[in-house]
């Protein structure tokens, strides 16, 4: 298999002799190609989003699986779903070859075991209602291939994200997302353009999924979980904006609802109790617009 990510890049063949400014300009020029490459894969990404939405609606979970940079990006995307969209830590999870230790320091050879890919999913209780998203720049990482094979053996939906169009992973997944970003600035350094492409794709996958599940109103993160002062202040601003209330009223509503922005907004806009607001949202499957749009 010819790996485009391993090829020398003629545009940066003399980068070791460039001035600092020219070096940075060369890197920036290459980075600009990434977004356009990802754009070409939007139909496949949309299919992946629809698959994840269906799984999560049915009580399933999303598992990102990868090694090295790819695995770390999966973990980053999964953990950010909790404060941003108010998900449980179990709903989106990241598995990294070599385990937690590998997040901070490379564990040599961890990615070379197909068996461990399936083993780690089994350890998390992965089942056919869940969905796995395998991530690998090369598209041939054994650990990720093992996870995809295990998902297939259970009949669970699977997604492959890679940066080579001839990747073996693509044949093992129900949905293949291959984004050819071309040779890296430093040949084989897939933490660069390939990593950027993967980050963009995972951001799209999780964000579009959560929007589809009603965790965003307009373009506001109304299901955020207040875990720090910054998010507490954001929740307060959201209630003030959407409920058209002053700071004191918004703070009181958030206190009564245990910092649940959507419930606080419904209580204020409809003039109803906490119990009734929660029931209205339950009947609307959590979609805030179904409860309050049309009131203006």
CATH of the domain at 66: 3.40.50.10490
User: What is the total count of domains within the chain?
Assistant: 2
Considering the domain architecture, whether residues 12 and 158 belong to the same structural domain is answered as: yes
What are φ and ψ of residue 92, in 5° steps? -130, 125
Q: pLDDT tier at 113 (50, 70, 90 boundaries)?
A: confident
Instruction: Give, as one character, the DSSP assignment of residue 219.
Output: T
DSSP state of 251: H
Residues 208 and 236 in one domain: no
Query: Does 170 reside within a domain?
Result: yes
pLDDT number for residue 223 = 95
- Considering the domain architecture, whether residues 94 and 235 belong to the same structural domain is answered as no
Share of the chain above pLDDT 90, in %: 83
- Of 6, 54, 80, 165, the active-site residue reads 80
The residue among 77, 42, 4, 75 whose CA lies nearest residue 175 is 42
Domain assignment present for 173? yes
Residue 247 is a catalytic residue: no
Question: Higher model confidence: residue 101 or residue 279?
Answer: 279
Structure tokens at 98: 């070599």
Position 108 scores a pLDDT of: 66
> What is the domain extent for residue 266?
229-292
pLDDT over 80 (residue 25)? yes
Domain membership of residue 60 (yes or no) is yes
75 and 131, same domain (yes or no): yes
- pLDDT of residue 275 exceeding 90, the answer is yes
What is the average per-residue pLDDT within 55-84?
Answer: 96
Q: Mark whether 145 and 95 lie in a shared domain.
A: yes
129: in domain: yes
Residue 218 lies in a domain: no
| In-domain check, residue 220 | no
Render the burial of 50-82: b for 16+ CB within 10 Å, e for the rest: ebbbebbeeebbbbbbbbbbbbbbbbebbebbb
Question: Does 245 score more than 70 pLDDT?
Answer: yes
Q: Is 101 a catalytic residue?
A: no
The confidence band for 13, taking pLDDT boundaries of 50, 70 and 90, is confident
Q: Is 278 domain-assigned? A: yes
Of the listed 44, 111, 114, 184, which one is catalytic? 111
Residues 10 and 154 in one domain: yes
CA dist 96 and 53 (Å) reads 23
Q: Any idea which of 80-84, 284-288, 292-296 has the lowest mean pLDDT?
A: 292-296
Q: Which two tokens stand for residue 286?
A: 């959590």
Residues 255 and 152 in one domain: no
Q: Mean pLDDT throughout 35-50?
A: 97
The per-residue pLDDT for 1 is 54
* Nearest-angstrom CA–CA distance, 73 and 39: 19
- 162 strand-pairing partners: 136, 178
Token pair for residue 36?
Answer: 């356009």
Q: Considering 158, 182, 212, which residue would you say is the last residue of a domain?
A: 212
In a domain, 223, yes or no: no
The last residue of a domain, from among 183, 212, 241: 212
**255, 155: one domain:** no
Average pLDDT (256-273) is 96
Instruction: Give me the mean pLDDT over the 13-40 stretch.
Output: 93
Q: Please report, for the domain that includes residue 281, its CATH number.
A: 1.10.8.1080
Strands across the sheet with 62-66, in order?
Answer: 92-96, 62-66, 131-136, 158-162, 175-178
């Amino acid at each position: 298999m010819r790996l485009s990510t391993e090829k020398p890049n003629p545009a940066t063949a003399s980068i070791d002799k460039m001035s600092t400014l020219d070096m940075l300009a060369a890197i920036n020029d290459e980075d600009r190609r990434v977004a356009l490459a990802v754009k070409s894969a939007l139909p496949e990404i949309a299919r992946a989003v629809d698959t994840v939405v269906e799984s999560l609606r049915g009580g399933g979970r999303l598992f990102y699986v990868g090694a090295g940079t790819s695995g770390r990006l999966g973990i980053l995307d999964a953990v950010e779903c909790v404060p941003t969209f108010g998900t449980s830590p179990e709903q989106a999870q990241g598995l990294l070859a070599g385990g937690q230790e590998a997040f901070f320091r490379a564990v040599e050879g961890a990615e070379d075991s197909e068996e461990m890919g399936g083993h780690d999913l089994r350890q998390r209780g992965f089942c056919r209602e869940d969905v796995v998203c395998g991530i690998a720049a090369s598209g041939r990482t054994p650990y990720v291939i093992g996870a995809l094979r295990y998902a297939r053996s259970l009949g669970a939906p699977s997604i492959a994200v890679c940066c080579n169009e001839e990747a073996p992973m693509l044949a093992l997944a129900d949905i293949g997302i291959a984004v050819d970003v071309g040779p890296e600035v430093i040949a084989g350094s897939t933490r660069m353009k390939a990593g950027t492409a993967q980050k963009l794709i995972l951001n799209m996958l999780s964000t579009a999924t959560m929007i589809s599940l009603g965790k965003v109103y307009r373009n506001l993160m109304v299901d955020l979980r207040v875990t720090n002062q910054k998010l507490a202040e954001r929740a307060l601003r959201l209630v003030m904006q959407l409920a058209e209330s002053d700071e004191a009223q918004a703070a009181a509503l958030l206190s009564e609802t245990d910092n649940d922005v959507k419930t606080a907004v419904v209580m204020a806009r409809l003039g109803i109790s906490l119990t009734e607001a929660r029931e209205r949202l339950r009947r609307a499957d959590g979609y805030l617009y179904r409860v309050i749009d049309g009131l203006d």
